[in-house]
């Protein structure tokens, strides 16, 4: 039986969802919804689905099994909760929401209605990151000591001016960390486990008419004892490839975009040469370094396929609501540390209050 997806919001990221779903066996986009009728109709015409302007009407469609929330970040909660209350499984683009309270509302609604929740983090599904995860879980790094990630991207002023919600606390929820680097924040949590302590500095240095940060540096301590750094910016012209570095007492791995720059362990295995060759430098594209549209939909495809199977098998998806909440919590801790100029302990007791 085919799985029907209904996409809420027809902006840029919705097209990546639609293209991803088209490549999943026994799955299809059956409906879309946008409050602007012309956008809904154009999307429906492009992907061969029904168009709605009222989300409740779309959620009443029996052909819709899963609702994908692809609206601006600060508009995720109400739509996700409505989908859960309608008995639909829920997919939410990153971030899950922009406050912990809103994240909890989504998680609780899905649990109450016995539906599955998927937080979009396609970087978990790339082959190179799967290889890195296997190495970490296999203990190949020995005692983990240091984990760093860098997102030094470029966004023009026109990018922020293109949508009234961009660069605002109310709808974007943050800047370079919440909107761009959240994938790498999730990656470090996925690889290293819980964060217990954060320090941070953020600022707005290269863009006008935005409320949020376009540059930031954070240091972290993980529950396993390792420490780390997360750098995030949208003010590094011309935009560099994202990079993750994992170090331990018996190994080092450096991943740039989807390429392996270094893959070295005290205990060399026969498969290591194959891994280095498969992900040799030069094979990756630029990702979203300078253009948010310059990403692949394959990560979305693999994640949504995983979600479909999780629903069919009654198992947990690889990235669920709790995972989505974790990345938001870490980023909010970074903001709190930057605002207060103090070390912040995790878990947070609640949402930090931004100074006026």
- HEC readout, the chain: CCEEEEEECCCHHHHHHHHHHHCCCCEEEEEEECCCHHHHHHHHHHHCCEEECCHHHHHCCCCCCEEEECCCHHHHHHHHHHHHHCCCEEEECCCCCCCHHHHHHHHHHHHHCCCCEEECCHHHHCHHHHHHHHHHHCCCCCCEEEEEEEEECECCHHHHHCCCCCCCCCCCCCCHHHHHCHHHHHHHHHHHCCEEEEEEEEECCCCCCCCCCCEEEEEEEECCCCEEEEEEECECCCCCCCEEEEEECCEEEEEECCEEEEEEECCCCHHHHHHHHHCCCCCCCCCCCCCCCCCCCHHHHHHHHHHHHHHHHCCCCCCCHHHHHHHHHHHHHHHHHHHHCCCEECCCCCCCCCCC
| Cross-strand bridge partners of residue 228 | 147, 220
Alpha-carbon distance values, 277 to 132, 213, 232, 274 (Å): 14, 38, 29, 5
Single out the residue of 345, 158, 134, 159 nearest to residue 253, CA to CA. 134
Q: What is the pLDDT of residues 248-281, one digit of tens each?
A: 999 999 999 999 999 999 999 999 999 999 999 9
pLDDT over 80 (residue 290): no
Please state the rounded mean pLDDT for residues 119-133.
Answer: 97
| Nearest of 140, 47, 115 to residue 311 by alpha carbon | 115
pLDDT tens across 222-243, in order? 999 999 999 999 999 999 999 9
Contact 118, 307 (CB under 8 A): yes
Residue 139's Cβ-side half-sphere holds a number of Cα atoms within 13 Å equal to 0
pLDDT, mean of residues 124-134: 97
Please answer whether residues 32 and 49 qualify as being in contact, where contact means their C-beta atoms are separated by less than 8 angstroms: yes
Task: For Cα atoms 94, 99, 104, give the angle at the middle one, nearest 5 degrees.
Answer: 85
pLDDT computed for residue 292 by the predictor:
73
22-79: pLDDT as tens digits: 999 999 999 999 999 999 999 999 999 999 999 999 999 999 999 999 999 999 999 9
Taking residues 320-330, what's their average pLDDT? 98
pLDDT for 75-116, tens place per residue? 999 999 999 999 999 999 999 999 999 999 999 999 999 999
Fold of 123-295+328-340: Dihydrodipicolinate Reductase; domain 2 (3.30.360)
Average pLDDT over residues 210-226: 98
Alpha carbon of residue 45 to chain centroid: 28
Q: Is pLDDT above 90 for 334? A: yes
What is the pLDDT, as a whole number, of residue 286?
59
pLDDT value, residue 296: 87
CA distance 110 to 112: 5
What integer is the mean pLDDT of 203-232?
98
Angle at 165 between CA 96 and CA 153, to 5 degrees: 75
Mean pLDDT score of the chain: 96
The pLDDT value given to residue 295: 77
Is the pLDDT confidence value at 285 over 70? Answer: no
What was the pLDDT predicted at 138? 98
The architecture in CATH of the region 3-122+298-319 reads 3-Layer(aba) Sandwich (3.40)
Answer yes or no: is pLDDT of 284 > 60.
no
- Pair 153, 180: CB distance under 8 Å: yes
- pLDDT of res. 293: 67
- Given a contact cutoff of 8 angstroms between Cβ atoms, the answer to whether 33 and 61 are in contact is no
**What is the average per-residue pLDDT within 150-169?**
94
Q: Is the alpha carbon torsion for 280, 282, 288, 289 positive or negative?
A: positive
Q: Is the pLDDT of residue 169 over 90?
A: yes
For residue 273, the model assigns a pLDDT of 97
Q: Supply the pLDDT for residue 355.
A: 87
- Sorting pLDDT into bands at 50, 70 and 90, what band is 294? low
Instruction: Give pLDDT tens digits for 171-200.
Output: 999 999 999 999 999 999 999 999 999 999
Would you kindly state where each structural domain of the chain is located, as residue ranges? 3-122+298-319, 123-295+328-340
The confidence score (pLDDT) of residue 215 equals: 98
């Amino acid at each position: 039986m085919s799985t029907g997806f209904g996409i809420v919001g027809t902006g840029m990221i919705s097209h990546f969802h639609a293209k991803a779903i088209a490549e999943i066996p026994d799955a299809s986009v059956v409906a879309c919804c946008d409050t602007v009728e012309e956008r809904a109709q154009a999307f429906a015409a492009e992907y061969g689905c029904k168009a709605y302007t009222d989300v409740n009407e779309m959620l009443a469609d029996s052909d819709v099994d899963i609702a994908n929330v692809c609206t601006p970040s600060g508009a995720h909660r109400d739509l996700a909760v409505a989908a859960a209350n309608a008995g639909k499984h829920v997919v939410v683009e990153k971030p899950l929401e922009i406050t912990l309270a809103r994240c909890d509302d989504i998680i609780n609604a899905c649990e109450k209605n016995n539906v599955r929740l998927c937080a979009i983090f396609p970087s978990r599904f790339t082959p190179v990151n799967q290889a890195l995860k296997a190495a970490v879980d296999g203990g190949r790094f020995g005692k983990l000591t240091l984990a760093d990630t860098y997102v030094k991207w470029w966004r023009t002023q026109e990018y922020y001016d293109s949508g009234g919600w961009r660069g605002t606390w109310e709808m974007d929820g943050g800047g370079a960390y919440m909107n761009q680097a959240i994938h790498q924040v999730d990656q470090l949590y996925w690889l290293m486990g819980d964060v217990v302590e954060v320090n941070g500095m953020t600022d707005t240095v290269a863009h006008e008419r935005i409320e949020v940060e376009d540059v930031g540096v954070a240091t972290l301590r993980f529950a396993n004892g390792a420490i780390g750094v997360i750098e995030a910016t949208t003010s590094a012209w011309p935009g560099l490839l994202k990079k993750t570095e994992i170090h331990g007492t018996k190994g080092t791995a450096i991943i740039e975009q989807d390429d392996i720059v270094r893959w070295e362990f005290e205990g060399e295995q026969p498969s290591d040469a194959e891994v280095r060759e498969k992900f040799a430098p030069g094979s990756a594209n630029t990702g979203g370094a300078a253009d948010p549209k310059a990403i692949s939909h394959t990560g979305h495809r693999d994640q949504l396929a995983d979600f479909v199977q999780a629903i069919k098998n009654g198992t947990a998806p690889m990235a669920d609501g709790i995972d989505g909440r974790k990345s938001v919590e870490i980023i909010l801790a970074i903001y709190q540390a930057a605002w207060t100029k103090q070390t912040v302990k995790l878990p947070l007791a609640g949402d930090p209050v931004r100074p006026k």
